[in-house]
């Protein structure tokens, strides 16, 4: 076995094997990155944007619903006050009729 050999391979053969493995490894990593990782990351980003848009529109709808509900609640209070006032007026009119 020559002095510049390892596992039966010369240094130039080992260098060639190393370069081939590194080249194929780099090519494989590029393929995975280009066809799997990047499209998956784009889909995840798109989904995150869609969820954020949904969250924002949901907040806006909730705010609008709350405003509408508060308006209805205010109207209900006004009607209750008017109803109470009308009931008092009716009682007063009946009391006058009974006295007169």
- The SS3 assignment for 31 reads helix
As a whole number of angstroms, the distance between CA 18 and CA 11 comes to: 10
As a whole number of angstroms, the distance between CA 54 and CA 31 comes to: 34
**pTM for the model:** 0.56
Q: Report pLDDT for 4.
A: 74
Q: How many CA atoms lie within 13 A of 49 on its CB side?
A: 6
Q: Which residues contact 11 (CB under 8 A, 6 or more apart)?
A: 4, 5
Backbone angles phi, psi at 9, to 5 degrees: -110, 145
Rounded to an integer, what is the distance from CA 69 to the centroid of its chain? Answer: 26
Contact 2, 10 (CB under 8 A): yes
Q: Report pLDDT for 100.
A: 63
Q: Report pLDDT for 6.
A: 77
- pLDDT (tens, 9 = 90+) of the chain, 100 residues, equals 566 777 888 888 999 999 999 999 999 999 999 999 999 999 999 999 999 999 999 999 999 999 999 999 999 999 999 999 999 999 998 888 777 6
């Amino acid at each position: 076995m020559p002095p510049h050999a390892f596992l039966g391979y010369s240094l130039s053969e080992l260098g060639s094997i190393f370069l081939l493995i590194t080249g194929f490894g780099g090519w494989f990593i590029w393929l995975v990155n280009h066809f799997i990782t990047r499209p998956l990351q784009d889909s995840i980003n798109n989904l995150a944007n869609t969820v954020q848009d949904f969250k924002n529109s949901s907040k806006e709808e909730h705010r609008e619903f709350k405003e509408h509900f508060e308006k209805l609640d205010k109207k209900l209070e006004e009607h209750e006050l008017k109803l109470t006032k009308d009931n008092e007026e009716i009682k007063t009119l009946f009391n006058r009729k009974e006295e007169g």
